[in-house]
Structures are given as structure tokens and as C-alpha cells.
């Protein structure tokens, strides 16, 4: 028998009445009724009500203990007079006849048994207390269950888990690296991996066919609600002799399986997930991570203008600007203030406002007064409008305009409560541009993953405008969040040298920064492809948590600080000397 308990605080039911029970846990709540003191005892598994009689010498002892003190009790399980249907153990209680105090709690910085408005900084400083709260505790348990299911589904498909190095070399691409100074090699630095990218490709070259890993990744980037600073975890996978289609099948089985298992009654899109080319996604949804729960789709209205009668848009259309339209049913009778707010928002975003036509029961509104009867009929036919519908127009050009149109689409969807909160809508975004133009410098840069295979291979690199080259790159998107990113890899050295050359890197840079991988490719590399769904963001979506820190067991705060462990922190002068590092103080 365990020294501390023979049951957990989540075990006991009515059938256990009459049994002698030993429990151990934290004092969750205390209620003193004068002749009786009720204690809710909590452990990892649940809560059990324990009763102390005022005639017992234990009564005064339990009275002196604060909540969150750790105790052990002995007693008899009995049927509760007032049962609690909201508690799994709510049919019984324990008549306590022995008490052991294992640890006394000080005054708490915030409440555990109830949600209070404690500032996040205080909660993170006392994270070990915050994790005792039911919601957060359950979040971490579900995270563990999600990871276990991911592993099971990958193993089921013939994948093997391998562990790749944590200390590696810095890469010129992607986010900022976390650097680690080398004591043995003065002046040189390791980098923590932003992802196991090169190592997993090297595993394919080494003859390991199907790899996966629940991998820690490290990026020195600014935090936001859906991105944790410092470190995050991803389900990293790679497979040899594989196409984009092979990767899609694996990820749809795994991620689809995860969402199906943990959806908790919500609707989940089933495989195969729909595929949307990047440029189509940017036009129709104004985003390369569209929230498909929003039924609104941006349409091209440019051809309607030029001679419509609405001079402003007619002139802009003739100048080559793009005019997009959003058709929204049932809002034509909205007050003018609704449309004025959208107009003000567009102006704040630098796009000169919006125009609209609303077919209300009292007559057409907006720019309808400027349109001829013929143009109104053309408009109705073009967008299949009927009474009660409204169509909103916006004008601009380029990627910046696409992104604005997406934000406006989201704003309208949220304000009109059009977004289906009871579903997981999954899709693949495919055919990403291989390169993009830097808006400030005009330089050609990689738009996504520099290790991906350009569509068309060497021929495309030699003969096409770099900005027209597409890549075998793909993202898995769910409910407006990027869940995974992957690609068919470039396994041919000459194609890789040429791809980097176009982006401004000569052969020596490729050999220096990616020497291990490029050298390996010269000795026979299989075609291979992979993907990496994010663990943290997956759990965040499943739990519908708005802040990613609430699904991470010990997260950093918004300033990339661990307030509990006081990291980052200063180190001793001796440590700095051993690492051959001098600290240059900022006079500011």
C-alpha cells in the first residue's frame, strides 16, 4: 500500500461507502459551519469532500491551516446527505479521524479555487500556483494527450521518432537565432535550432525513410497572442521518395485525427482538405491563412467600373487599380452609420474609404443613386443580388491592398457574427511564390523556405522572372491560423546554388552556412518532402484559448522573461571570462 494514499481524490463513488480511505492533497476550500468543518481536498485527479467534527481534536488543527496547505487524511467514506452532481465524487464524503500535515501554505498571492483578476505578471511569477487552477491544469493535460495522439498516428503510418541536436550552427534565413557561446572554441557560437530543418533532411540522405519528432524550436522573435517568444514545439516530419501529395495524406491523417478526437462536439472538416493557391487566397480572402468559418468571399468588381457613373471608382479602374466586392445578405436595412464606420476604417487604413450599394426594402442606397437603371441591373446580375443584400466595394492594388481587404472581411464577419464558432475549417494553401521583392530595397528574397524545390526546377530558375516562379511549398491552415508549414525539398546541389544566387547569396555563403547539407547532397540524396504542424497552436485552437501562454506549462511573458526563474539574468564575471565574452554597457 502507498504510504500516503489508497485512493486518489477523483476515485471514490457511492459504491465505496463504508471503506477506510487514505487521501492526500491540497486544501482547495474550507467551510466552517460551527459544529462541522468541510474541506475540499484536491489532487491531480479530482476533489473529495472531507468532514471534520467539532468534537474531534482535529477540528482546531484543520481550522489553523490555510487553503493550499498539503495534508493527508484517514477516515471512512459515507454517502453525502447533500450530493453534488457537478463533482465526480459528489455522492460521498470522508468522515475524518486522522490528519497529517505535510506542508503549510503561506498567504496566497491570488486565489486558486476561483478565477480572480490577478495580473498576468503575478500569475507567471507564481506559475506553479497558477497551474493548480482547474482550467490551466486541464489545458496542460489536454496538451499531453494531443502530443500522445500525434505520436500514435505517426507511428501508425510507419514513421520512426528520432532526436536531432539542440546545439547547432546559425542560419542566415528566418528569425533571429538564440546564440550559445563556446567555451572550448573562443569567439565561436552555437545556435539553438529554429527548426530541425537541415538535420531532418540529412536523415533522409542517411537512408532513414520516415522521420518524425516532437521537436523544441527556438526563435528570438517578438511575442504576440498566438506566438510564444523563445521556444515552441512542433510535430516535425520528413519522408523520402515522397511528393506533396504523400505529405498531405500523412498530415491529413494525423492532424485530422487529432481534431476529430478532441473536437468535443464541434464540426471538423474531413480529409482531403480543400486546396487554395496562394494568389487565389490573397484575392478571395485577403490572407494566406484564411478563416473559412467566415462565409464572406472577396470578388473582382473591376470590370463593373470604368463607366459606371461613380466617377471616383471609374477613374481608379482606368488607372489600373483593382476593385473588390463583398456581397453580404440581409444587411441592406442596416443604418447608414454601419456603412460609415466601415468607410472610416478604410480611411484609417489608408485606402480612401469604401463604397456600397444596399438593396433595402425602401429602395437602393449608397452609390445606387449615381448608377443608371441599366448599371443597377448589371450589378444585380453580376453578384446575384436580391432585396436585402448589400455589396461593399473597396479599391487598391498590390499585396498591401489584399491584406487590407482581408482585414475588412474579418471585421465585417466578426461584427455581423457570421463566423461559425462551432467548427474547425481546415485547408491547404499551395503554390506559394518562391521569391518576393523587398518593399524597401527592391531586392529579391526567399518568400518562404529557401530549401524548397522551385516548380520547374533549374529551367524555371534560368528562364523565368524570379517573381513568377512558384514553389512546392504549402501551409496547413485552420480557422485563420497557420498550423503547419512544409515543402518538397530541393535535393539537387546545382539547383540550390542557383536558387540562393538569385536571392543574393554566392556559392561560398551556401557552403559556409549549409555546408553539411549541401555536401551530403553531393553523395546521393533521395527526393524528399516534409511538414511541421505546431503543437502549441494546435492545442490553443482545440481549447479555444486566445493566449498561447495558457497552453504552455512554463511560458515566458510578453517581454521574453521567465519571472518565476528570473531568466534571463546576469552571470558572474568568471563565467564571462571562461566564455571569452566582454559586456559592453549601453551609456543610454
Q: Taking 90 as the threshold, does the pLDDT of residue 586 lie above it?
A: no
* DSSP structure class, residue 177: P
Please give the sequence-ordered ranges of beta strands (E in DSSP) within 335-437, or none if there are none. Answer: 355-360, 363-366, 390-396, 423-424, 426-430, 435-437
Q: Taking 70 as the threshold, does the pLDDT of residue 114 lie above it?
A: yes
**Phi/psi of residue 132, nearest 5 degrees:** -75, -20
Mean pLDDT estimate for the chain: 95
Residue 222 is predicted with a pLDDT of 81
Of the candidates 407, 430, 429, 432, the residue with the CA atom closest to the CA atom of residue 294 = 407
| 95 burial via Cβ count (<10 Å: 0-12, 13-18, 19+) | middle
Residue 173 is predicted with a pLDDT of 56
pLDDT-based confidence at residue 115 (cuts at 50, 70, 90): confident
Residue 15 is predicted with a pLDDT of 97
Pick the range with the lowest mean pLDDT from 203-212, 223-232, 479-488, 566-575.
Answer: 223-232
Share of the chain above pLDDT 70, in %: 99
Q: Taking 80 as the threshold, does the pLDDT of residue 587 lie above it?
A: no
Residue 1 is predicted with a pLDDT of 62
| Residues paired with 357 in a beta bridge | 366, 391
Segment 38-94, tens digit of pLDDT = 999 999 999 999 999 999 999 999 999 999 999 999 999 999 999 999 999 999 999
Report residue 518 as a C-alpha cell: 549541401
- Interval 509-531 mean pLDDT: 92
Q: Taking 80 as the threshold, does the pLDDT of residue 224 lie above it?
A: no
Residue 458 is predicted with a pLDDT of 97
In CATH terms, the superfamily for domain 14-103 is Nucleic acid-binding proteins (2.40.50.140)
CB 394 within 8 A of CB 342: no
Segment 328-337, tens digit of pLDDT = 999 999 999 9
Q: Half-sphere exposure of 33 toward its Cβ, with a 13 Å CA cutoff?
A: 8
Please give the sequence-ordered ranges of beta strands (E in DSSP) within 491-555, or none if there are none. Answer: 528-533
- Interval 383-399 mean pLDDT: 96
In CATH terms, the superfamily for domain 294-419 is GAD-like domain (3.30.1360.30)
**Integer angstrom CA distances of residue 574 from 55, 182, 189, 569:** 62, 15, 18, 15
Could you state, in order of their start, the residue ranges of all structural domains in the chain? 14-103, 294-419
Segment 161-208, tens digit of pLDDT = 999 999 998 876 567 899 999 999 999 999 999 999 999 999 999 999
| Residues paired with 373 in a beta bridge | none
**Phi/psi of residue 96, nearest 5 degrees:** -85, 130
Distance in angstroms (rounded) separating the CA atoms of residues 322 and 229: 38
Rg (CA), the chain: 30
Tell me how crowded residue 436 is: count the other CB atoms within 10 A of its CB.
16
User: Which residues touch 255 (CB under 8 Å, ≥6 apart)?
Assistant: 426, 476, 483, 484, 533, 538
CB 341 within 8 A of CB 335: no
Where b means 16+ CB within 10 Å and e means fewer, 408-424 reads bbbebbeebeebbeeeb
Of the candidates 162, 159, 163, 164, the residue with the CA atom closest to the CA atom of residue 239 = 159
Residue 172 is predicted with a pLDDT of 60
Q: Taking 80 as the threshold, does the pLDDT of residue 554 lie above it?
A: yes
Residue 357 is predicted with a pLDDT of 97
For the whole model, what pTM was predicted?
Answer: 0.93
- Interval 309-317 mean pLDDT: 95
Where b means 16+ CB within 10 Å and e means fewer, 452-488 reads bbbbeeeebbeeeebeebbbbbbbbbbbbebbbbbbb
Residue 174 is predicted with a pLDDT of 65
Distance in angstroms (rounded) separating the CA atoms of residues 21 and 6: 6
Share of the chain above pLDDT 90, in %: 90
Distance in angstroms (rounded) separating the CA atoms of residues 370 and 377: 13
Segment 448-495, tens digit of pLDDT = 888 899 999 999 999 999 999 999 999 999 999 999 999 999 999 999
Residue 362 is predicted with a pLDDT of 85
Amino acid at each position: 500500500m502507498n504510504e500516503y494514499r489508497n485512493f486518489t481524490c477523483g476515485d471514490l463513488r457511492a459504491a465505496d461507502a463504508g471503506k477506510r480511505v487514505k487521501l492526500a492533497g491540497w486544501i482547495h476550500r474550507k467551510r466552517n459551519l460551527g459544529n462541522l468543518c468541510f474541506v475540499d481536498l484536491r489532487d491531480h485527479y479530482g476533489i473529495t469532500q472531507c468532514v471534520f467534527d467539532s468534537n474531534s481534536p482535529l477540528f482546531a488543527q484543520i481550522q489553523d491551516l490555510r487553503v493550499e496547505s498539503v495534508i493527508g487524511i484517514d477516515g471512512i467514506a459515507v454517502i453525502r446527505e447533500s450530493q453534488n452532481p457537478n463533482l465526480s465524487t459528489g455522492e460521498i464524503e470522508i468522515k475524518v479521524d486522522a490528519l497529517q500535515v505535510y506542508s503549510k501554505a503561506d498567504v496566497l498571492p491570488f486565489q486558486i479555487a476561483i478565477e480572480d483578476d490577478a495580473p498576468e505578471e503575478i500569475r507567471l511569477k507564481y506559475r506553479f500556483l497558477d497551474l493548480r487552477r482547474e482550467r490551466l491544469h486541464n489545458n496542460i493535460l489536454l496538451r499531453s494527450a494531443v502530443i500522445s495522439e500525434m505520436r500514435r498516428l505517426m507511428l501508425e503510418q510507419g514513421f520512426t521518432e528520432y532526436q536531432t541536436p539542440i546545439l547547432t550552427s546559425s542560419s542566415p534565413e528566418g528569425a533571429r537565432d538564440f546564440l550559445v557561446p563556446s567555451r572550448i572554441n573562443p569567439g565561436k557560437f552555437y545556435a539553438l535550432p529554429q527548426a530541425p530543418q537541415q538535420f531532418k533532411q540529412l536523415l533522409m540522405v542517411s537512408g532513414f525513410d520516415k522521420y518524425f519528432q516532437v521537436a523544441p524550436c527556438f526563435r528570438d522573435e517578438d511575442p504576440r497572442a498566438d506566438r510564444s517568444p523563445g521556444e515552441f514545439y512542433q510535430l516535425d516530419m520528413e519522408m523520402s521518395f515522397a511528393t506533396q501529395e504523400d505529405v498531405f495524406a500523412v498530415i491529413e491523417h494525423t492532424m485530422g485525427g487529432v481534431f476529430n478526437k478532441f473536437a468535443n462536439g464541434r464540426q471538423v472538416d474531413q480529409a482531403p482538405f480543400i486546396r487554395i493557391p496562394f494568389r487565389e487566397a490573397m484575392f478571395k480572402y485577403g490572407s494566406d491563412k484564411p478563416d473559412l468559418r467566415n462565409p464572406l468571399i472577396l470578388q473582382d468588381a473591376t470590370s463593373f467600373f470604368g463607366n459606371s457613373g461613380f466617377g471616383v471608382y471609374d477613374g481608379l479602374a482606368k488607372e489600373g487599380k483593382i476593385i473588390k466586392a463583398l456581397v453580404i445578405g440581409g444587411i441592406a436595412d442596416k443604418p447608414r452609420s454601419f456603412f460609415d464606420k466601415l468607410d472610416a476604417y478604410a480611411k484609417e487604413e489608408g485606402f480612401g474609404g469604401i463604397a456600397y450599394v444596399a438593396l433595402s426594402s425602401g429602395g437602393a442606397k449608397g452609390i445606387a443613386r449615381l448608377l443608371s437603371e441599366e448599371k443597377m441591373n448589371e450589378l444585380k446580375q453580376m453578384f446575384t443580388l436580391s432585396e436585402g443584400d448589400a455589396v461593399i466595394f473597396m479599391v487598391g492594388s498590390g499585396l498591401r491592398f489584399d491584406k487590407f481587404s482581408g482585414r475588412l472581411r474579418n471585421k465585417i464577419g466578426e461584427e455581423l457574427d457570421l463566423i461559425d464558432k462551432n467548427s474547425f475549417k481546415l485547408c491547404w494553401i499551395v503554390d506559394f511564390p518562391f521569391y518576393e521583392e523587398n518593399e524597401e530595397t527592391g531586392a529579391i528574397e526567399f518568400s518562404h523556405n529557401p530549401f524548397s524545390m522551385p516548380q520547374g526546377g533549374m529551367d524555371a530558375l534560368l528562364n523565368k522572372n524570379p517573381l513568377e516562379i512558384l514553389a512546392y511549398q504549402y501551409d496547413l491552415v485552420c480557422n485563420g491560423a497557420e498550423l503547419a508549414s512544409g515543402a518538397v525539398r530541393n535535393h539537387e546541389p546545382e539547383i540550390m546554388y542557383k536558387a540562393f544566387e538569385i536571392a543574393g547569396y554566392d556559392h561560398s555563403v551556401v557552403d559556409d552556412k549549409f555546408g553539411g547539407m549541401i555536401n551530403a547532397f553531393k553523395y546521393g540524396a533521395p527526393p524528399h518532402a516534409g511538414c511541421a504542424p505546431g503543437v502549441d497552436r494546435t492545442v490553443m485552437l482545440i481549447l479555444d484559448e486566445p493566449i498561447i501562454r495558457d497552453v504552455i506549462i512554463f511560458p515566458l511573458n510578453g517581454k521574453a522573461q521567465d519571472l518565476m526563474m528570473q531568466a534571463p539574468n546576469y552571470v558572474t564575471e568568471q563565467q564571462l571570462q571562461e566564455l571569452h565574452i566582454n559586456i559592453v554597457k549601453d551609456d543610454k
